[in-house]
Amino acid sequence: MRFAQPCTKPRRQPVNKLAGLFLGSLLLAGAGVAAENEMSHPDKATVIRELGLEGHVEGGYYRRTFQADHRATIDQGEGERFTLTSIFYLLTDDAPIGHWHLNKSDIIHYYHLGSPVHYYLIHPDGRLETAVLGSDLAAGHQLQLVVKGGVWKASHLPQGSYGLISEAVSPGFEYSDMTLGDRAALLAQFPAHGELIRAYTRED
């Protein structure tokens, strides 16, 4: 004769023990996030030191990281240029503005670290374009920005200690191919954008 096996209920963990396990997992997760944030966001001084950055004439900090010297140069009538150059570019709370300037080359900007960087572009026909390089895609931030040659550009770090990007420039950058914005000349050419021009040009 077979006897029915007694029904055994699963053992229930004490409420206090379950709560402890839950809180412990939260603490571990929080510690992991904190450690990740600390590793991925070095402070301003560390960024400048470790990347070897120095002051840039348009504002902020930079260092050239690449030039295509393994390829033949190109000449578009104004001297030989590398096909491509690249730099780190940094705006900080004590150097928060990249003043108005115009490059002849096309430039792709890539966001890396830190607070969002705001860009203002004035096209040859006077059209104003704005963009924000940053990590919050849901807020409309962009991870890269293309600025074609012949477009006036200014950048600004409105908050935070720094914003770090890279630029890829083609044909390669030369200072002779860049024009720094003159306030009076820009106001005469683009009077509709007077407020932005005054904000991001140096006083005479």
| CA gap 10, 59 in Å, rounded | 68
Whose CA is closest to 171, among 78, 81, 66? 81
Q: Is 199 helix (H, G, I), strand (E, B) or coil?
A: helix
Q: pTM of the full predicted structure?
A: 0.79
User: What is the residue extent of each domain of the chain?
Assistant: 45-71+78-199
Residue with tokens 């002849």: 104
pLDDT tens for the 204 residues of the chain, in order: 444 444 444 455 454 554 454 445 544 445 444 444 445 689 999 999 999 999 999 999 999 999 999 999 999 888 999 999 999 999 999 999 999 999 999 999 999 999 999 999 999 999 999 999 999 999 999 999 999 999 999 999 999 999 999 999 999 999 999 999 999 999 999 999 999 999 999 876
Topology adopted by domain 45-71+78-199: Jelly Rolls (2.60.120)
**Pairing status of strand 97-103 against strand 178-180:** antiparallel
